[in-house]
Copies of this chain bind each other. A is one copy, B any other.
Amino acid sequence: MSRRTRMATIDPTPPDARAEPIAARSFGSGATTISDIARLTGVSKKTVSRVINGSELVHPETRDKIKALMTELNYTPDPQARGLAFRHSFLIGLVFDNPTAQYIVNMQYGVLDALRDSGFELVVHPCDSKRADYIDGIRHFVQRQKLYAVILIPRVSEDQALAEMLQDLGVRYVRIASVALDDASRMVMTHDRRAGSEVAEYLESLGHRYVGLITGPKRYRSSIERGGGFRDGLARRGIALTDEAVYEGGYTFESGVAGAEALLRREPRPTAIFACNDEMAAGVYKAAQRMGLSIPGDLTVIGYDDSPLASQLWPPLTTIHLPVREIGRQAASLVLTKDRQSNPEGNAAITVSPHLVIRDSSQPPRE
């Protein structure tokens, strides 16, 4: 029936226009346009457009007929044409500086989870936040591609100047960070401070009293939060973390090695070390091996991230699981929800909680 209706509908356009069949125009087959749908269904392009954009102002019967035809012809509106008319593209930019490969990839997977079937695509944009003009680079990227939104990953997410530039541009964005740096509607927060405390409490409960901390760079907010939470957690349990028990690393393997070597020379030697990411924890493993210390017999090691590395180390690393893919999913969902401003006051920021995963690198201290 629906087929007959379609066939019976007379094409209102003059016979000279568009006389050729629908399919196979330019990009392989399936190049149906909004005009084809309008003509074959006997309505105006505007009405089809209303259906595409989910307007309520369409007669249900008309809408159904149009939708049926769109499905039948496997029609999807051209994002470039829509973008030109809407004055923005259907692209989401992912901007990042230099996290680990695993972090980047998991984030991409998470974002793409949320973007699936949305008509939006993910465009990646690494940058170097140490360059003076890196914000300009991002501005050009956003402007030129008329991005619909951008997702900011630490450390660039922590740059206030970048956020302000994006606000000036009037483009949507969301920042991923461990503290509330912005409106709740623009934040996905990870409770790094709480996770740091959790590590402290776990170590105290095992009986450790002499512990060391290897932080990330001070310019990373996550590093401050993880380390600060750890320090606070210890303090709450009556353990003071002296300055000599803290080594500022660089989130790299090598800095983990150096940090462990520095900390393990102290007297009394720490019985446990918390490294603020897994890569540095792997460095601690190496230093311990060199110094003839066994893990966890002589030394308990805790990491942060729960990267694949954590389960590949020997012994498997006790660490904080950071749900990166979930974070990416949340960030992308946030950016796609139109009604962010509908509840400007009551909106709570989206938060994601890392949690401790106990494996084999931790146990009570000897004696």
Give A contacts to B, CB under 8 Å: 26-28, 30, 76, 78-81, 83-84, 87-89, 91, 100-102, 104-106, 108-109, 112, 119, 121-124, 126, 139-140, 143-146, 168-171, 253, 279, 282-283, 285-286, 289-290, 308-309, 311-312, 314
Contact check, B312 vs A253: say whether CB atoms are below 8 A apart. yes
B146 pairs with A80, CB closer than 8 A: yes
For A84, what are the chain B residues with a Cβ–Cβ distance below 8 Å? Answer: 78, 80-81, 84
Residue in B91, B100, B146 whose CB lies within 8 Å of A27: B146
Given contact pairs A80-B83, A81-B84, A112-B126, a sample of 10 additional A-B residue pairs in the complex whose CB atoms are under 8 Å apart: A27-B170, A28-B169, A80-B146, A100-B101, A108-B124, A108-B126, A109-B126, A119-B144, A124-B124, A282-B312
| Cross-chain contact A27 with B169 (CB below 8 angstroms) | yes
Q: Which residues of B contact A282 (CB under 8 A)?
A: 312
Question: Which single residue of chain B is at the shortest CB-CB distance from A144?
Answer: B76
Please name 7 pairs of A and B residues whose Cβ atoms are closer than 8 Å in the assembled complex, sorted by A. Answer: A27-B87, A76-B144, A79-B145, A91-B123, A282-B312, A289-B314, A290-B314
Least Cβ–Cβ distance between A74 and chain B, in angstroms:
9
Known A-B contacts A28-B169, A30-B143, A105-B104; the reply to A308 vs B253 at CB < 8 A is yes
A-B complex: 6 closest residue pairs judged by Cβ atoms: A28-B169, A101-B105, A101-B101, A101-B102, A80-B83, A26-B87
Q: Within the complex, what minimum Cβ distance (angstroms) separates A21 from chain B?
A: 18
CA distance A48 to B30 in the complex (A): 33
Instruction: Determine whether the beta carbon of B314 is less than 8 Å from that of A285.
Output: yes
CB-CB under 8 A for A123 and B121, given A87-B27, A169-B28? yes
Query: Which of B80, B106, B109 has a CB less than 8 Å from the CB of A89?
Result: B80
B126 adjacent to A124 (CB under 8 Å): no
Which of B28, B80, B121, B290 meets A143, CB within 8 Å? Answer: B28
Complex Cα gap A311–B123 (Å): 31
B residues less than 8 Å from A104 (CB atoms): 101, 105
A307 to B: closest C-beta gap in Å: 9
Residue of B nearest to A30 (CB): B143
- Complex Cα distance, B283 from A279, in Å, reads 17
Residue contact A28 to B83, C-beta cutoff 8 Å? no
Residue of A80, A106, A143 with most chain B CB atoms under a 10 A cut-off = A80
A62: min CB distance to chain B, Å: 25
* Chain B residues, Cβ within 8 Å of A124: 108, 112, 122, 124
Bound-complex Cα distance A126 to B328 (A): 15
Give every chain B residue within 8 A of A289 (Cβ-Cβ).
314
Complex Cα distance, B121 from A140, in Å, reads 12
Do B143 and A27 have beta carbons less than 8 Å apart?
yes
Closest to A147 in B: B27
CB distance from A136 to the nearest CB of B (A): 11
Given A80-B80, A105-B105, A88 contacting B314 (CB threshold 8 A): no
List, in ascending order, chain B residues with CB within 8 A of A286's CB: 312, 314
Q: Are A88's CB and B312's CB within 8 A?
A: no
Closest to A112 in B: B126
Output the residue of A109, A140, A146 with the most chain B CB within 10 A: A146
Residues of B within 8 A of A279 (CB): 312
CA distance A112 to B76 in the complex (A): 29
Is there an interface contact between B146 and A78, defined as CB atoms closer than 8 Å? yes
